[in-house]
Amino acid sequence: MASARKNLMIDERYRLERKIGSGGMADVWLAEDTELDRKVAIKILHESFAEDQEFVERFRREAQAAAGLQHPNVVGIFDRGEFRDTYFIAMEYVDGPQLKELVKGGMGVQDAIDFTRQILNAARFAHRKGIIHRDLKPQNVLIDDEGRARVADFGIARSDRSDITATGSVMGTAQYLSPEQAQGKDTTARSDIYSIGVILYEALTGQVPFDGDSAVAVALKQVNDVPRHPSSINSDVPPALDAVVMRALAKDPERRFNDADAFLKALDAAEKAPDTPRRQDTAVFAAVGPEGEASDAGYLDEEEREEGEEEEARRRRRRWIALALAVMAVAVMAVAGLVAFLVTRSNPDQVEVPDVLGQQVGVATEVLQNRGFDVDTTYSASAAPENQVIEQDPIPSNRGGSDIDEGSTIVLAVSSGPGITEVPDVQGLNEADATKRLEEQGFKVKPSFQFSSDVPNGRAVGTQPASGARIQSGSTVKLLISRGSNQAEVPSVVGLQTEQAIDALDAAGLGSNVVQRDDDAPAGEVVDQAPSAGRSVKKNSTVTIFVSTGAISVPGVVGQPRKQAVSALKQAGFSVAIEEDTSAPASKTGIVVDQFPPGGSRGQRGDTVTIVVGDAPPVP
């Protein structure tokens, strides 16, 4: 597609105004929602990833996961879809800084706790819905104009492979990754607990626990190194809070807090703990458990305090002994490692494993045999071109594999080309289930949204190609998702006042056009409508409503007796004023000889009609 630019319309609804951010897989623009007249943030997938099904799926899943999260500490998702050759998500626009901007150099202890508590509230809500963020970091936490933390970018896709690829790129941000993510293991809610622990650490100290020259270097530290206590960097951090941070940063997920509730409970306890505890309380604070609780330190008498000091001295002596033994062990291991290295390097039978991934099987076999290896091949259906090597065992040395004995057998997995698979029937399934069923059959999925009178909003209308079609495995199938009916039933508004009628039409998804009409009905009352009530029309269609002006006809009463004329005018809705004409002939005495306004003219209810009645003087 053409590059995103100012005033570009997305999905015929969102007008781009300016770029406000850019990430590893998408740009974020401030835009105007022209339908609802509001500001939104539009995340547009980078064009380089739009053809990569893995990234598209990750992008799509982020929107799907976050759309169901309505929480004060979570950035809301409004809409998503395709635009030309890429994909977009429309999100709530939060006009405020990233938490990353506030934690530079550290912040006050209380502020750090308060923001962490809000992030934990968002994580707890998501975890209860089975959603793990997997990339929590200060850059994904926005602060709104009320000072409230709002977590964005929920739903980074799971991966069965390591989060660190052969080129050292990281799914997520290395400084905030849990050790299990860095090793490519399964992620759980406790992985988010670790990331939140890193955020709290950075908020308290102004620096992350681990940093390095590359993502791989940082990830290795996440797995192997122990971070400094926050209090060793910021002396204002009390021991109780120190213990909470270190519990959250435990390498073993089982030793971290069980969940966000336990983390919150521990923060509450740390706030109540003394800022300058006695020396013997330190061990108690260090014993914060995965449930977020610590045993009560209490207050010790003099004898118990002396015993505690003696025990502390014994612990220090044991630590020095352990440290000396550890140094000795490291020295022994270093010597053993050096010997092993020299032996390995001097062994002429150990050779590197060539990388033949992606090559044609014939070429790959020749390369390996020329290096002295035996070759076995297996074939399986794959989206890769026919006869292309898609896997090899052992792993190539340049991709992290070890050297092996010369003459060993290398097994190549070779693509036999895409297989033929029948498109399954997904009609009526929700988007997630329909996508899963198609992917299980080996298809790539491209969602497309359309109106449907028969299928509820969010459910699958069908696929293109249709279910039952037999196509190559790995092909892209368009999944048609219903946006609900585009029809609306016209409500009856006759008899309502104008504003009530307009509101009723608006609630039905219809527009209104008001036309004034003279009618005996009270002014402002709807006396007719078109189309009529009960008709089915397209949403946003216009309904014309005819509104009474309240004008009524003035009865002609000239020639009528006074009493009869007054009665006729009042029944018609008019007030009556009477004047007497003494110059009228005697035959017109008591008879209406004139009126104003004249009969047949129009007036409003309550208007005054003046009648002139003959009143000849008596004959002398």
Residue 373 token pair? 């290896």
For 501, other C-beta atoms within 10 Å of its C-beta total 24
Q: Is 189 exposed, middle or buried (0-12, 13-18, 19+ CB in 10 A)?
A: buried
556 Cα distance to chain centroid: 72
Place of tokens 């977590």: 151
Annotation says 135 is catalytic = yes
Q: Is 157 left (phi over 0), alpha (psi -120 to 50) or beta?
A: beta
Contact 280, 315 (CB under 8 A): no
- 168 vs 220: CA distance, rounded Å: 11
**Cα within 13 Å of Cα(393), Cβ side:** 6
Among candidates 105, 125, 289, 138, which has minimal Cα distance to 206?
A: 105
SS (H, E, C) 3-22: CCCCCCEECCCEEEEEEEEE
CB proximity list for 491: less than 8 A, separation 6 or greater: 504, 505, 508, 533
Best CA proximity match to 245, nearest among 211, 288, 295, 294: 288
Tell me how many degrees the CA angle 408-412-413 measures, rounded to the nearest 5: 150
Is the separation of the CB atoms in 552 and 572 below 8 Å?
yes
DSSP string, 121-150: HHHHHHHHTT---S---GGGEEE-TTS-EE
* Alpha carbon distance 583, 204 (integer Å): 105
| 443-444-449 Cα angle (round to 5) | 115
Residue 536 contacts residue 570 (beta carbons within 8 Å): no
Q: In the 8-state DSSP scheme, what is residue 64? A: H
**Considering 135, 163, 281, 615, which one is annotated as catalytic?**
135
Residue 317 CB-density burial (10 A; 0-12 exposed, 13-18 middle, 19+ buried): exposed
Contact 112, 58 (CB under 8 A): no
Using alpha carbons, list the distances in angstroms from residue 382 to 414, 416, 418: 9, 7, 5
Match 């739009």 to its residue by tokens: 50
Does an H or E element contain 500, and which?
A: helix 498-507
- Decide if 428 contacts 467 (C-beta within 8 A): no
- Measured N-to-C along each axis, helices 239-248 and 189-205 cross at an angle, to the nearest 10 degrees, of 140
Work out the angle at residue 156's Cα, subtended by the Cα atoms of residues 150 and 159, and round it to the nearest 5 degrees: 160
Give me the residue label for tokens 């009869």: 564
- Rounded CA-CA distance 419/474 in Å is 8
Query: Which of 313, 319, 312, 245 has the alpha carbon at shortest distance from 285?
Result: 245
Residues labelled as active-site residues: 135
